[in-house]
Amino acid sequence: MAKLEIVTIGHPVLEEQAKEVTKITKRTVKLVNDMLETMYDANGVGLAAPQVGVSERIIVLDVGEGPIVLINPVISAAEGEEIDVEGCLSVPERWVYVKRSSNVVVTGLNEKGKSIRIPADGLLARALQHEIDHLDGVLMVSKMLGEATIEVGDEEEGE
């Protein structure tokens, strides 16, 4: 495995519609493993392939319950809404308020090509929507309702 470079706001790949993965190869599996290592090293909860400069529809997440890998993820159902604070590895040192669906169902493939369906709420629902936005070339700052202030070492969000 290898730690990859995370591209930041202003990089053109972050504004592109990522390409669908048509075949899961050894290269795909290596990319997934490298993305997981990169995400953990950066203390992130999610990472999309465009964030490491690869325009493919692949995301990885871990909200504390173990890694999730989704290839060609699609939000098949969404309901409710909530506003909360988000950060992004591609938009360092910035936190913003974003409105998202409170419950989603996401379908896709895992790294073995098996179909998976993930019903989600809370942080997992927010992280899935955030990472899928990356695959569509959408950054959280384009959806922000306002800036948030996070005190270093403080778990609570400020105003």
Q: Which sequence positions are flagged as catalytic? A: 131
Give phi and psi for 56, each to the nearest 5: -135, 150
Q: How far is CA 158 from the centre of its chain?
A: 23
The single-letter code of the amino acid at 137 is: G
Q: What are the structure tokens assigned to 51, written together?
A: 């964030």
Q: Are 109 and 115 in contact (CB under 8 A)?
A: yes
Q: Which amino acid is at 54?
A: V
| Token couple for 54 | 């690869």
- The dihedrals phi and psi of 120, each to the nearest 5 degrees, come to -145, 150
Angstrom distance (rounded) from CA 83 to CA 101: 9
Q: Could you give the CA distance from residue 145 to residue 2 in angstroms, rounded to a whole number? A: 36
